[in-house]
Amino acid sequence: MRWVDVKESLKDFWFEFKRQKGGLLGIFLLVLLVFTALAAPYLTEPDIPKKWTTYWEGNPTNVPPVWYNYFTTKKLAPHKVLTYDDLKITAEGQDLGGGIKYYAFEFDYNNQYDLPPKDLIIKEIGVQLADLNSPAQIVITLYRPDGQKIELLSADLVEGSIYQIAKIGIVRNNVFNWASQFEDPKNLQGRVETIKSTMDVMEIIFAKTEPGILIDPQPLHGDYKFQVEIFTFNEGDKIDLKPMQIVLTGRTYGLMGTDYKGRDLWAGLIWGTRVSLIVGVSVAVLSVLIGIAYGVTSAYLGGWKDEFMQRVNEFVASIPTLPILILLGAAFKGHTTLWTIVFLLVMFGWTGIAKVARSMALQIKEQTYVEAARALGAGTGRIIFKHIMPQIMPYAFAVMALSVPGAVLTEASLSFLGLGDPTAVTWGQILYDAQTNSATINGYWWWVIPPGLAISLVALTFVLIGVALDRVLNPRLKRL
């Protein structure tokens, strides 16, 4: 019989809840957020939390998302990573005689952008040298669509070598010397060293061969071919091209761009969903349960016990929460964990709920069935948890939902102030990094707006659900 009553009650509740359009939207958004949190390892990478505090080598820094190109007239090159399977291998260990072996590969790049990649990085070439005093040699040559050829680099190749073309002084000199033959001599008078030190190497090698190439390079669209040649000079030298990576560092990256460490902000947004839900729901549930238990117990005990418990409640409620949290966060700075934040938020978050629960319990404990239970010898605990608490739980569910946004915003505020968990991927931490690196001043909107909107979305989700629950479970708020 009791099972039937519960089943009917749930049917009645769902019937009423379906009439709340805002509540249904909130449920849909909550399902979407939970799915995002659970699927984070599959939507991004499973090791994001471990690598979040490090610099993401090879990624461009402070670049907007790829779709930014749809809203700007100047098209920016996207990030591109090539592996062994993307290359055209033309020689692999070819014997040239005299102990010299030759390796060569090439790859094409179709430049249809107004701003080319920021850099060309060649890394993770497997190198084993029989004699460290006799390194291998690497030569990188660029063939342009206008028939021009530039030898970008000729240098030693040793184990662990990484070549960032735009940052190598030899490449800068080679590109400057090549481009100077097309530049108007008047533009170079007295400015050679200044131009050489400040020029964008990648813009110039992808620019038209015309006067102004060093001052105001104009993009040359078309197909470019990079040829990489490697020479070894000892019989025991070994070259393995398979682990190699070639990175064309983009001026746009992914769905949400990157920050000052080259971190994928899309991954940060996805993983931040987990933290927001864990912190928000944990704080809301614990605060409500503690507050209701405290308030109901205070009301039921009455007398001097009730007075004492209320004075304690008022004392805790009078403490300025945010300043105290800031002080405590500063005291634990560098050692703060998410569970420390949850504990601090719960410690100050139960007082208001306890006041409301007490006022409700004062009315319920005078009901006839409570008096009957007391007369039959029911203990205090049984009366509180079997007869009074069930009457307050509808209020508890509504206030839990409505308490989540406050917890999420407080955690984000602490993280924004630099007092959160520095090892956690949180939206507040992303905003803190943006603030400390002047993202707003520099116009890095993709670093600021998405996490702010994500926080607002979580708050909206639980407000919609909380208001709908309040209307359904509170008879005075029901609407026909």
Which tens digit of pLDDT belongs to each residue from 214-230?
999 999 999 999 999 99
Chain-centre distance of CA 228, in angstroms? 36
Strand positions, DSSP E, 179-325: 222-232, 238-240, 245-249
**Per-residue pLDDT at 411:** 83
Tens-place pLDDT, residues 79-134:
999 999 999 999 988 998 888 999 999 999 999 999 999 999 999 999 998 888 88
Q: What are 92's strand-pairing partners?
A: 103
| CA separation for the pair 335, 318 (Å, rounded) | 27
Q: How far apart are CA 318 and CA 433, in angstroms?
A: 32
DSSP three-state, residue 413: helix
For 282, the 3-state DSSP assignment is helix
Residues 218 and 210 sit within 8 Å (Cβ to Cβ)? yes
Alpha-carbon span 425 to 265, nearest angstrom:
10
Look at residue 1 in the predicted model and tell me its pLDDT.
37
CA end-to-end span of the chain = 30
Q: Write the CA distances from 41 to 24, 65, 66, 268, integer angstroms.
A: 28, 21, 22, 12
pTM for this prediction: 0.83
Phi then psi for 146, rounded to 5 degrees?
Answer: -90, 10
In sequence order, what are the beta bridge partners of 153?
140
CA 134 to chain centre: 45
Only one residue has tokens 């499973």, namely: 46
Beta pairing partners, 88 = 106
Query: How far is the C-alpha of 268 from the C-alpha of 451, rounded, in Å?
Result: 9
Flag residues of the chain having pLDDT under 50: 1-4, 477-480
Residue type at position 194: T
Q: Which of 475, 480, 412 is nearest to 448 (CA)?
A: 412
Please report how many Cα atoms fall inside a 13 Å half-sphere around the Cα of residue 111, on the Cβ side: 28
Structural contact between residues 113 and 63, judged by C-beta atoms closer than 8 angstroms: no
Q: State the pLDDT at residue 416.
A: 79
Question: What are the beta bridge partners of residue 97?
Answer: 100
3-state secondary structure of 270: helix
Are 411 and 458 in contact, with CB atoms under 8 Å apart?
A: no
